[in-house]
Structure 1
Amino acid sequence: MKFIRNARTALSHRLAERRAHRRLSDELAAFRTAAERSELDMVLGRHSADETAEIDAILSRQDAARRYGAAVHIV
């Protein structure tokens, strides 16, 4: 019984983490213009690399997706 309870708790925490990550990704996607990104970079610059690692990873993925999308439309 304890195993099942622990598995349910772990699954619940994982789902909550995924929802929070998705929400953060959606919020960061709103920073599109150069001015908006510069402002965001200034804010992130006030924090350590450890504190901003997740945000940096999300922004890198979003930038890569935008570049890929732009390259596909050019061809």
Structure 2
Amino acid sequence: MKFIRNARTTLSHRLAERRAHRRLSDELAAFRTAAERSELDLMLGRHTAAETAEIDTILSRQDAARRYTTAMHNA
């Protein structure tokens, strides 16, 4: 019984983390223009690299996806 309860708790935490990550990704995707990204970079600059690591990863992934989409449309 304890094993099943622990598994359910772990699964529940993973799902919550994924939802939070998805929400953060959606919020960060709203920063599209150069001015918006500059403003975001200024805000992030007030924090340590450890504090912003997840955000930096998401932004890098979103930038790469935008560059890929642009390149595919221009090809």
TM-score category (smaller protein) = over 0.9
Moved over 3 A (4+): none
Identity of aligned residues (%): 85
* 1:15-52 CA-partner distances (Å, limit 9, x unpaired): 00000000000000000000000000000000000000
User: How many residues are paired up?
Assistant: 75
Q: Provide structure 1 residue ranges, at least 5 long, that are not aligned to the other structure.
A: none
CA RMSD of aligned residues (A): 0.1
Q: Name the structure 1 match of 2:25.
A: 25
Structure 2: state its 5+ residue gaps. none
The correspondence of residues 1-75 of structure 1 with structure 2, limited to 5 A, is 1-75=1-75
Per the TM alignment, residue 66 of structure 1 is displaced from its structure 2 partner at its CA by 0.1
TM-score normalized by the length of structure 2: 1.00
**TM-aligned CA deviation for residue 64 of structure 1:** 0.1
